[in-house]
Amino acid sequence: MPFAVRSKKMNDPVEQLRNRMVTDQLEKRGIYDPRVLRAMRVLPRQRFVTTVSVEQAYADCALPIECDQTISQPYMVALMTEALRLEGGERVLEIGTGSGYQTAVLAALAAEVVSIERHGKLSQAAGEVLQALGYANVRLIVGDGSLGCVEHAPYDRIMVTAGSAACPPPLWEQLVEGGLVVLPVGDRSNQVLQRMEKVNGQPRLENLTGCRFVPLVGAQGW
């Protein structure tokens, strides 16, 4: 982890918000991976959502960000991250950089993160925050996330933070054998969060929970 958040006071209110978020929103709902919990306990979420108050930044809900996108609910961030089963040495492809918060969580737990965002404004803003926080293992790309990024493939894990009708074929092709992809699958309004393991080139599916994400826009999306 590239940085550590240390309170100057015993009762730092922001640290209390983070601890409460982890305890009430994550642990009590069954998130158990200690690395995921630690990453989210120290990461300053308010740095990624500057249009709302600090208290709102840690609220139990998704929040709007620029370009009509959203930052996911903390629980969904934790659930998707835990579902990837990261051990520390993986190269991860993230589709939808957004605010950069999910990117930071992934970067704290993996060796390398390649993150694609179609909105240049969001990618630039996320990059500035990630750089300020000391993340050196993140590569940000502006482009069509539904096509993945062949240049840096293959990937051990892929996370898609936008809903699509199915896993885009280019992403599946860029996933290593035995790798995992986590993504919301459904229509434009409602999806099911799925984990797909690549076994002999075929997907082994597991449905995790119902969800609602912005649509994946691109040549292999909506």
- In the prediction, which pLDDT does 7 show? 42
Residue range 126-150: mean pLDDT, rounded: 98
pLDDT in tens, 182-216: 999 999 989 999 999 999 999 999 999 999 999 99
- Whole-model pTM: value is 0.94
pLDDT in tens, 131-141: 999 999 999 99
Helix-, strand-, coil-residue percentages of the chain, each rounded to 5: 35, 30, 35
Residue 107: which H helix or E strand, with range?
helix 101-109
Query: For a pLDDT cut of 70, what percent of the chain falls above it?
Result: 95
pLDDT in tens, 40-94: 999 999 999 988 999 999 999 999 999 999 999 999 999 999 999 999 999 999 9
- In the prediction, which pLDDT does 4 show? 46
Q: How far apart are the first and last CA of the chain?
A: 35
Domain 62-211 sits in CATH at 3.40.50.150
Instruction: Round to whole Å and give the CA distance between 152 and 124.
Output: 20
Greater model confidence, 1 or 129? 129
Distance of alpha carbon 20 from the chain centroid: 20
Phi, psi of 38, deg, nearest 5: -65, -45
pLDDT of 166 > 50? The answer is: yes
- In the prediction, which pLDDT does 6 show? 47
Average pLDDT, the chain: 94
**DSSP state, residue 84:** T
Residue 210: which H helix or E strand, with range?
strand 202-211
Kindly report whether the peptide bond that precedes residue 74 is cis, defined as omega within 30 degrees of 0: no
Asked about 189 being catalytic, the answer comes back as: no
Query: 72, 115, 123, 164: which is the annotated catalytic residue?
Result: 72
